[in-house]
Copies of this chain bind each other. A is one copy, B any other.
């Protein structure tokens, strides 16, 4: 799962506080992997103290094989947000692309470039999932009154 945390500075610019991928081993049981995901997310929330969260909206026409494990993980993440007192907004991949580039079918490289530019980063974020998560956080930042945001994408 990709994640990104951004924060507004006193000049109203957003900066990336943290981003990356939470990975678990396929050798572990489903339940253990979901618990590891929850613990990593709880730790991230403790460290970065976001005001608000955002998450990718899933569709049932997504790849059927991955829909079930991804939905299971998403359920765990939603409970984690709720228990941390974080309200959340959902974004479809198309909304995020529109918000980032004004074009709903922009490429992964377009998104990475916009994320780098908007967050004033020295290098583009290499992981697509992490770049997408930062893009979701930025989409949320543009629409909500919030100074620090956490986003998750699957």
Contacts and interface: CB of A to CB of B under 8 A. Distances in A.
Given A60-B64, A64-B60, A78 B72 contact: yes
Nearest to A60: B64
Interface residues of A, number: 28
Interface stretch (A27-35, A103-111, A113-121, A144-152): A27-35
A78 B60 CA distance: 21
B71 A38 contact: no
A38 B68 contact: no
A21 interface: no
A35 B75 contact: no
Contact of A82 (B32, B70, B72): B32
A79 interface: yes
Interface in A60-79: 60-61, 64-65, 67-76, 78-79
